[in-house]
Structure 1
Amino acid sequence: MADSKPLRVGMVGYAFMGAAHSHAWRTAPRFFDLPLAPQLTAVAGRNEDGVRAAATKYGWDSVETDWRRLIDRDDIDLIDICTPGNTHAEIAIAALEAGKHVLCEKPLANSVAEAEKMTVVAQAAAERGVLSMCGFSYRRTPALALAKRMVEEGRLGDIRHVRAQYLQDWLTDANAPLTWRLDKAKSGSGSLGDIGAHSIDAAQWITGMDITGVSALLETFVKERPLAGDLVGLGGQGGPDGPKGPVTVDDAALFTARFAPKHDGGRPSGAQGTDGGSRQGPIGIFEATRFALGRKNAMRLELNGTKGSLAFDFEDMNSLQFYDASLEPDAGFRKIMVTEPTHPYTANWWPTGHGLGYEHGFTHQVVDLVNAIHAGEQPSPSFADALQVQKVLAAVEESANNASRWENVHKEAS
């Protein structure tokens, strides 16, 4: 990589996701042979003291207090967006129109209309060689990537059931402060978009099918919370005895779903009919909550097919459970340790049996993005892929707002 052309990165935002992305940009070229050499050129944030501290801590060369300055700079090739969802569209569109590649955190936007506009701009930019990707990092978990490979190989046969949960417990304390993630104007939605979006994307990606309709229920358990930080205002006091503000997003989301093969002129992996069965897609059930006491980051996915089943839980992220129905019926699930060099991404890391962690998904995301940019190929997931997730999120909210009425996921631009 010493002779590789640099890929100069400007990142917007430096909190939790900014830390994960910074680690990935630094680490990827040290474990993978990349055709472009990522450089942590500049990071932007509104708080000058905060962004300077982050730049020093995470290894960025310079700072800006206005993201527009990143886009204006000639020494920036790619904009990495790690900000709340209400800012994604403006930043991404400006960057793409200025000729900068874009990596944008999920969910793509706070509305279908914003996501559609971003997708149109991204498709036009791609024709000029300017590429974009949405950051659904769980796609780069080796065990989930292996699950997709096994589905593509037909080892599950026709998929009948998709069962997805994303369970956390960090909001169970009613006195936890009111942050931007609990403000619909900034975050778009609560557990649905924050963590449920990952389950939706993973389920569609692994099955090779789209969710076409949903029936949903959303619940907010804690209606108001103590204000925190600059939300309190001058002279205000935070904490449980101070002023409170309304929670305007969901705490938990539940929905049933139906899948159908993609209508792209070809037959997707996982489509029905390989065993003489119907072409009807599978049915699914999804749950996302930040109120599941004891569950820290249980991103779970199970697929049941005509030939076998797969099950995954991120709290045991280096393994995949597989049931092969061609074996003795009483054999049950067997555990695959996804640490072999033949498994996705793992050959570049540690010896067999030495597991990976949460941060490695972001590193693999950088690897795939850099390789795609160098090859001039559309990275995956594209903004169009992320728009499909956005349409599912919108359909879930619409159904929940209408007494769980069945809501179709619209394919046409709204």
Structure 2
Amino acid sequence: MSEDKPRIGVAMIGYAFMGRAHSQAWRNAHRFFDLPLEPHMAVLVGRDEQRATSAARQLGWDAVETDWRRAIERDDVDVVDICTPGDTHAEIAVAALEAGKHVLVEKPMANTVAEAETMAAAAGAARGRGVRSMVGFTYRRVPAITLARQMVADGRIGEVRQVRAQYLQDWLADADAPLSWRLDKEKAGSGALGDIGAHIIDLTQFVTGQRIAGVAGMLDTFVTERPVAESFSGLHGTGGTERGPVTVDDAAMFLGRLSSGAPAVFEATRFAWGRKNAIRIEVNGSTGSLAFDFEDMNVLHYYDATEPAGTAGFRRIIVTEPEHPYIEAWWPAGHGLGYEHGFVHQAVDLVRAIGAGEDPTPSFEDGLHVQRVLEAIERSSAEHSTYTEIGD
């Protein structure tokens, strides 16, 4: 620990996939970036004490609690990092904010608009006491995406005319893949729509600097029953006969309009064989285009329509130069970053905001708007409506 840096204690609630990603971020943020406060991995929270203790030992947490309420009461905790299923986010976040703890919550912020409104109200009240809050839309922190936002803001593609965004995965394409909490609407809120569609909603708004003002959506569930995990022997094998219902969408397709009136097309699916984590966004403007695919995450494609047609073409920008966002703290040019680095950048931005007494982004108000977009898409699909406006 640095002698001249005060510590900021972190409690992390949950320790599975997202918990592991967040843990490496808290371990490494201050080792690569100059931070005003040094993160201290104070306590990990899990319901099963034995498993939580094993995870804490592996991931680097100092202590374990089995009740999140005890964690937020601890004097050595300043930040509560929520990595649990969506049905628990609101209760934990509101309690932590009221206890004076800064909060980082994984996306989507909540399972319903009502929950998100409660969380945003609590964040607003806490802000007046100097307590900060942020939603974990981590892909904002990919250097190529942050560079794309800067280029749009600098006018490099002119006026935004249209956007197309996709998030394609295939981990559920096998009809015999087992049930998990992500397929239970009570826990997850929605399926592909909230799990991965929320990301491309946020990325579109982040890159363009505009909000989505209205949508028309269509949701589909292709596999309505799956083997329960306990009786299933593997992803691509024969398992038991017990099956349970899938209560969320498998794929979401929707149209949107940005606040400027520009149209956008979105697709989120976990049934695209061969696509492991293909997050794609292309923004077409009046003088150029930008395109990104997370499966080639260190590259941003840029087309300058002001160049002579005879030599114009998409330019492949390798986003690993020291002047690119976040890169100076890492490796020499050409030595690419990976999935985990976005979480480090997220921790860095949150700690810096807390140290500066500023509100980090995306805020709980930003998360609330994404929740309203998700609800509008669900409503549009259920009612077969052509367009649903999104209120504030």
TM-score with structure 2 length normalisation?
A: 0.97
Task: Using the TM superposition, give the Cα deviation of residue 72 of structure 1 relative to its aligned residue in structure 2, in angstroms.
Answer: 1.4
Contact 1:299/1:314 (CA < 8 Å) preserved in 2? yes
User: Identity, % of aligned pairs?
Assistant: 63
In the alignment, does 2:289 pair up with 1:327?
Answer: no
Q: Distance in 1 between matches of 2:268 and 2:316?
A: 25
In the alignment, does 2:172 pair up with 1:171?
Answer: yes
Q: Distance in 2 between matches of 1:2 and 1:395?
A: 51
1:400 is aligned, of 377, 381, 385, to 381
Q: Distance in 2 between matches of 1:397 and 1:344?
A: 35
Paired position in structure 2 for 1:3:
4
Structure 1 residues 402 and 240: alpha-carbon distance in aligned structure 2, compared to 1, 3 A threshold = farther
2:264 is aligned, of 284, 289, 296, to 284
Q: What's the CA shift string for 1:330-388, capped at 9, x where partnerless? A: 42211000000010000100000000000000000000000000111000000001111
Paired position in structure 2 for 1:307:
287
2:339 is aligned, of 310, 333, 358, to 358
Task: Using the TM superposition, give the Cα deviation of residue 2 of structure 1 relative to its aligned residue in structure 2, in angstroms.
Answer: 3.5
Task: Using the TM superposition, give the Cα deviation of residue 241 of structure 1 relative to its aligned residue in structure 2, in angstroms.
Answer: 3.0
Task: Using the TM superposition, give the Cα deviation of residue 404 of structure 1 relative to its aligned residue in structure 2, in angstroms.
Answer: 4.1
Paired position in structure 1 for 2:86:
85
SS at the partner of 1:75?
A: coil
Q: Distance in 1 between matches of 2:130 and 2:379?
A: 37
Paired position in structure 1 for 2:47:
46
Q: Distance in 1 between matches of 2:51 and 2:265?
A: 41
> Which residues in structure 2 correspond to 1:15-414 (within 5 Å)?
15-229=16-230, 240-260=239-259, 280-330=260-310, 331-411=312-392
Q: Distance in 1 between matches of 2:293 and 2:282?
A: 9
Q: Which amino acid aligns with 2:139?
A: Y
Task: Using the TM superposition, give the Cα deviation of residue 403 of structure 1 relative to its aligned residue in structure 2, in angstroms.
Answer: 1.4
Unaligned runs of 5+ in 2: 232-236
SS at the partner of 2:306?
A: coil
Paired position in structure 2 for 1:268:
none
SS at the partner of 2:27?
A: helix
Q: Which amino acid aligns with 2:384?
A: A
Q: Distance in 2 between matches of 1:172 and 1:370?
A: 39
Contact 1:177/1:239 (CA < 8 Å) preserved in 2? no
Task: Using the TM superposition, give the Cα deviation of residue 172 of structure 1 relative to its aligned residue in structure 2, in angstroms.
Answer: 0.8
Task: Using the TM superposition, give the Cα deviation of residue 239 of structure 1 relative to its aligned residue in structure 2, in angstroms.
Answer: 6.3
TM-score with structure 1 length normalisation?
A: 0.92
Unaligned runs of 5+ in 1: 233-237, 261-279
Contact 1:225/1:247 (CA < 8 Å) preserved in 2? yes
SS at the partner of 2:368?
A: helix
Q: Distance in 1 between matches of 2:117 and 2:323?
A: 38
SS at the partner of 1:209?
A: coil
Q: Which amino acid aligns with 1:363?
A: V
Contact 1:155/1:307 (CA < 8 Å) preserved in 2? yes
Q: Which amino acid aligns with 2:352?
A: N
Contact 1:82/1:105 (CA < 8 Å) preserved in 2? yes
Q: Distance in 2 between matches of 1:46 and 1:404?
A: 42
Task: Using the TM superposition, give the Cα deviation of residue 49 of structure 1 relative to its aligned residue in structure 2, in angstroms.
Answer: 1.6
SS at the partner of 2:62?
A: coil
Q: Distance in 1 between matches of 2:58 and 2:241?
A: 33
Contact 1:144/1:312 (CA < 8 Å) preserved in 2? yes
Contact 1:312/1:321 (CA < 8 Å) preserved in 2? yes
Greater mean alpha carbon deviation, residues 322-331 or residues 83-92: 322-331
Contact 1:21/1:362 (CA < 8 Å) preserved in 2? yes
SS at the partner of 2:211?
A: strand
Q: What's the CA shift string for 1:38-88, capped at 9, x where partnerless? A: 000000011112111110110000001111110111111110000000000
SS at the partner of 1:390?
A: helix
Contact 1:52/1:63 (CA < 8 Å) preserved in 2? yes
Q: What's the CA shift string for 1:307-342, capped at 9, x where partnerless? A: 100000000000000000011224221100000001
SS at the partner of 2:21?
A: helix
Contact 1:169/1:292 (CA < 8 Å) preserved in 2? yes
